[in-house]
Structures are given as C-alpha cells and as structure tokens.
C-alpha cells in the first residue's frame, strides 16, 4: 500500500500547480457529512472545514469548488490555493463553466435537442433534501439536452445534459417532472421500474455521470477540458439495453 501523503484516493484526471480534478466514484461523498455519526469516504483526504470548503489533506490543503451527489460519479474540481479557489468559484457563479452530464432516462419522445426551464424549490427536512418543481414563478433552473440514442425495445433514452445552473438534484428533478425519471433514481424515480431494470439490464444504481468540465484555467487563461469515462458498471447497463457506449 502506498504510504506517501496524498490529497485524494480517487483517480486523478488532471493535476497542475493550481488545480486538482478527480474522477469521483459512485458512493463517495464530495465532502464529509457532519450530521452522519459513521464516517463515510470523501473525494479528498483529511479534515474538512465546511466554512472555507477546504480539506487539510496529508499532502496539503485542497479547496472543493463544487459538489456532486453521493450517487453521481464523474468529474469533480478542486483548487490547491485560496486565490485559485476564489477564481473558480466566481466562474461557477457567473455560469461560465460548462458542466456536461450523461444520463439514462426511462421513457422516450425527446426531441433531438432542447432546453428544460423550471422554477425549483429545495427543502431540508429531517436530514433529507428534496427538490420540487413549482409552476408559475420565473424559471431559476436551466439545462440543455441532446438525445444521443433511444432504445425502443427498452424505452430508454441516453441523453447528454449541459447544466447552465446548478440547483440541488436539478437534473434528476427536471427529468422526473417530464416523466423521464433517471434509471436507478430511488428518490425521484419509480421503485417498480428500477426493480425491473435491475433485473433486466443490471441497473443497480443511479445512471448519472458528470462527463465533462470545461473552464478557463484561472492561471493560464487557456480553456481546460477534463472528461471522465463511463465506469464499467454503467457501460454494462448500456450494453444490456442495446445502446452504444459513449
């Protein structure tokens, strides 16, 4: 076992003096949950300060820039110094960072491409977070989608989604509200459908992958694009459904 001090145990997709980009696996938290008594694995090592969103890892400090749900896998960005972290967070707030996801939805009827605009409300109750669509108010959540492939036999749609905003559970809620629940979604999806898909195509978890992150490098100003390949379990689901792997 490697005993050298590290900032992360995740696969590193990109690293330089300023940034650290990892491939977060399914089941791993972006940061520790202070409300959970039992420690759970997080994307980065060391003690986490929630106020500064900073890990004090054995290899030095690392600042978390954004987060992925525990059930979502893929590209996760961190910074190695406070100035870089501030610049990255500013880019996220300005919505100049391109965040692309791959999702497998149950259902069809999607146009080749389009946009989802909704007003989302998030509530925190009994240590649980739930987001719902509220009809009427001005939209505060936007996502653009592109249909990659549709399986008529399974009635499954593989789509690419670009998040323009970053609301809690945004993709999952927007898809479910259009009767296109994500495969394996045990919160906003269908229990019966998930059970059937688990048996028929081996879909044992949420099919949502943070596929690509594109941003201007805060130091060089050059465009940086980092991709995370689909993990083997999600590739197996696509193959069982008769869909091409991305």
| Active-site residue list | 69
Query: Computed from CA positions of residues 107, 201, 113, 99, in that sequence, does the dihedral angle turn out positive or negative?
Result: positive
CA atoms within 13 A on the CB side of 101: 28
Q: Backbone phi, then psi, for 233, in 5-degree steps? A: -65, -35
What residues does 164 pair with on adjacent strands?
Answer: none
Angle between helices 232-240 and 191-201 (to 10 degrees): 90
- The pairs formed by 146-150 with CB atoms below 8 angstroms and a separation of 24 or more are 146/112, 146/113, 147/110, 147/111, 147/112, 147/113, 148/102, 148/246, 149/243, 149/244, 150/108, 150/110
- CB contact burial 102-128 (16+ within 10 A = b; e otherwise): bbbbbbeebeeeeebebebeeeeeeee
């Amino acid at each position: 076992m490697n005993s050298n001090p590290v900032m992360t145990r995740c696969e590193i997709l990109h690293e330089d003096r300023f940034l650290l980009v990892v491939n977060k696996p399914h089941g791993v938290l972006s940061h520790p949950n202070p409300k959970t008594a039992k420690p759970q694995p997080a994307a980065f090592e060391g003690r986490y300060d929630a106020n500064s969103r900073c890990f004090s890892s054995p290899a030095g400090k690392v600042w978390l820039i954004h987060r992925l749900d525990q059930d979502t896998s893929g590209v996760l960005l961190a910074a190695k110094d406070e100035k870089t972290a501030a610049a990255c967070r500013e880019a996220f707030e300005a919505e100049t960072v391109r965040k692309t996801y791959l999702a497998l939805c149950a259902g069809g009827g999607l146009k080749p491409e389009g946009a989802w605009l909704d007003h989302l409300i998030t509530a925190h109750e009994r240590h649980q977070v739930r987001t719902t669509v509220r009809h009427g108010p001005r939209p505060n959540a936007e996502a653009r989608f592109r249909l990659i492939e549709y399986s008529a036999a399974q009635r499954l749609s593989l789509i690419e989604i670009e998040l323009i905003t970053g609301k809690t559970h945004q993709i999952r809620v927007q898809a479910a509200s259009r009767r296109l629940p994500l495969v394996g979604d045990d919160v906003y999806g269908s229990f019966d459908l998930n059970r059937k898909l688990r048996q028929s195509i081996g879909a044992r978890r949420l099919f949502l992958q943070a596929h690509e992150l594109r941003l201007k490098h805060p130091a060089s100003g050059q465009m940086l694009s980092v991709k995370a390949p689909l993990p083997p379990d999600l590739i197996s689901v696509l193959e069982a459904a008769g869909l091409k792997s991305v």
